[in-house]
A and B are shown apart, each in its own frame.
Chain A
Amino acid sequence: MKLELSKRSAPSIVMTYLSPLIGLSLALVAGAIMFMFLGKPPLQALYAYFIEPISELWSVHELLIKAAPLILMGAGLCVCYQSNNWNIGAEGQMIIGGMAGSALPVMFPEFSGPLVLPLMIVFGMLGGMLYAAIPALLKTRFKTNEILTSLMLVYVAQMILDWTVRGPWRNPEGLNFPETRRFDAFARIPEMLPADGRANFGFIIAIVVAILIWVLMSKTLKGFQVKVIGASPRAAKFAGFDAKHMVFFAFMLAGATAGLAGTIEVAGATGQLLPTISPGYGFTAIIVAFLGRLNPIGAIVAGLVLALTFLGGEAAQITIGVSDKAARVFQGLILFFVLACDTLILYRVRLIFGDKTAAKGAA
Chain B
Amino acid sequence: MLSDGAVLLKLEGISKYYGSFKANDQISLEILPGEIHALLGENGAGKSTLVKMLYGSLQPDEGQIHWEGNAVNINNPAEARELGVGMVFQHFSLFNALTVAENVALALPPGKSLKQVSQELEEISSSYGLPLQANARIHDLSVGERQRVEIVRCLLQHPKLIILDEPTSVLTPQESEDLFKVLRRLSDEGKAILYISHKLSEVQSLCQEATILRHGQVVGECVPGDETPISLAKMMVGSDIHELSPREVAVAEGEVVLKVSNLTLDGETGFDTRLQNVSFTLHRGEISGVAGIAGNGQNELFDAISGERLSEPSAVEINGEPVGQKGILQRRQLGAMYISEERLGHAAVPEFSLSENVILTRHGIENNLSDGLFVSRKSARDVKDQIVEKFDVRKGTADPLAQSLSGGNLQKFVLGREVMGDADIIIVNQPTWGVDAGSAAHIRQTLVDLAETGAAILVISQDLDELFEVTDAIATLTEGQLSEFVPTRSTNRQQVGLQMTSDAH
Chain A residues engaging chain B, CB cutoff 8 angstroms = 6-10, 219-222, 224, 227-228, 231-232, 234-235, 237-240, 348, 356-357, 359-363
Contacts and interface: CB of A to CB of B under 8 A. Distances in A.
B437 to A, nearest CB: 24
B394 to A, nearest CB: 15
Contact of B348 (A8, A235, A237): A235
Contacts of A10: 400-401, 404
B26 to A, nearest CB: 12
Contacts of A239: 328-329, 360-361, 363
A363 B61 CA distance: 13
Interface string B344-361: 011111111000100111
Contacts of B463: none
Given A240-B329, A360-B62, A362-B20, A221 B340 contact: no
Contacts of B133: none
Given A6-B18, A221-B375, A238 B351 contact: no
A227 B360 CA distance: 11
Given A221-B373, A224-B356, A348-B19, A232 B327 contact: no
Contact of B19 (A237, A238, A362): A362
- Interface size class on chain B is 35 or more
A361 B401 CA distance: 25
25 contacts: A9-B19, A10-B400, A10-B404, A221-B363, A221-B372, A222-B373, A228-B349, A228-B360, A231-B351, A232-B349, A234-B345, A235-B345, A235-B349, A237-B328, A238-B346, A238-B360, A239-B328, A356-B60, A356-B61, A356-B62, A357-B62, A361-B17, A362-B19, A363-B19, A363-B20
Given A10-B404, A224-B363, A234-B346, A219 B19 contact: no
Nearest to A348: B19
Interface string B369-387: 0101111000000000000
Interface string B1-40: 0000000000000000111110000000000000000000
A219 B21 contact: no
Contacts of A240: 307, 327-329, 332, 364
A92 B350 CA distance: 35
Contacts of B307: 240
A238 B328 contact: yes
Contacts of B142: none
Contacts of B351: 231
Enumerate the 10 nearest inter-chain pairs by beta-carbon distance, A residue then B residue, closest first.
A240-B329, A362-B20, A232-B349, A240-B328, A239-B360, A235-B349, A234-B346, A221-B370, A231-B349, A221-B375
B308 interface: yes
Given A221-B370, A232-B350, A235-B345, A8 B327 contact: no
Contacts of A228: 349, 352, 360
A357 B71 CA distance: 15
Contacts of B400: 10
Contacts of A231: 349-352
Contacts of A9: 19-21, 404
B346 A235 contact: yes
A231 B348 CA distance: 10
Contacts of A8: 19
B59 interface: yes
Contacts of B60: 356
Contacts of A362: 19-20
Contacts of B17: 360-361
Contacts of B62: 356-357, 360
B106 to A, nearest CB: 29
B308 A238 contact: yes
A7 B347 contact: no
Given A238-B360, A357-B61, 20 more contacts: A9-B20, A9-B21, A10-B404, A219-B375, A220-B373, A221-B374, A221-B375, A224-B359, A227-B352, A228-B360, A235-B346, A235-B347, A235-B348, A238-B328, A238-B346, A239-B360, A240-B327, A356-B59, A360-B61, A362-B19
Nearest to B364: A240
Contacts of B346: 232, 234-235, 238
B241 to A, nearest CB: 29
Interface string B164-199: 000000000000000000000000000000000000
B73 to A, nearest CB: 9
A240 B59 CA distance: 43
A31 B127 CA distance: 69
A222 B363 CA distance: 11
Nearest to A225: B363
A23 B360 CA distance: 34
Contacts of A232: 345-346, 349-350
Contacts of B20: 9, 362-363
A312 B306 CA distance: 57
A232 B59 CA distance: 32
Contacts of A360: 17, 61-62
B380 to A, nearest CB: 10
B349 A6 contact: no
Contacts of A238: 306, 308, 328, 338, 340, 346-347, 360-361
A348 B18 CA distance: 11
Contacts of B349: 228, 231-232, 235
Nearest to A242: B327
Interface in B39-78: 59-62
Contacts of A222: 373
Most buried by B among A222, A234, A235: A235
Contacts of A220: 373-375
B370 to A, nearest CB: 5
A235 B18 CA distance: 28
Contacts of A219: 374-375
A231 B17 CA distance: 28
A10 B342 CA distance: 21
A235 B359 CA distance: 12
Contacts of B306: 238
B360 A235 contact: yes
B316 to A, nearest CB: 16
Most buried by A among B350, B359, B374: B374
Contacts of A227: 352
A219 B376 CA distance: 7
A306 B243 CA distance: 64
A191 to B, nearest CB: 36
Contacts of A237: 308, 328
Contacts of B348: 235
A50 B373 CA distance: 42
B304 to A, nearest CB: 13
Most buried by B among A6, A8, A238, A362: A238
Nearest to A228: B349
A26 B399 CA distance: 34
A235 B361 CA distance: 9
Contacts of B352: 227-228, 231
A220 B370 CA distance: 8
B303 to A, nearest CB: 9
B216 to A, nearest CB: 15
Contact of A359 (B61, B332, B370, B375): B61
A363 B401 CA distance: 21
Contacts of B338: 238
Contacts of B374: 219-221
A304 B60 CA distance: 49
B360 to A, nearest CB: 5
A24 to B, nearest CB: 25
B362 to A, nearest CB: 9
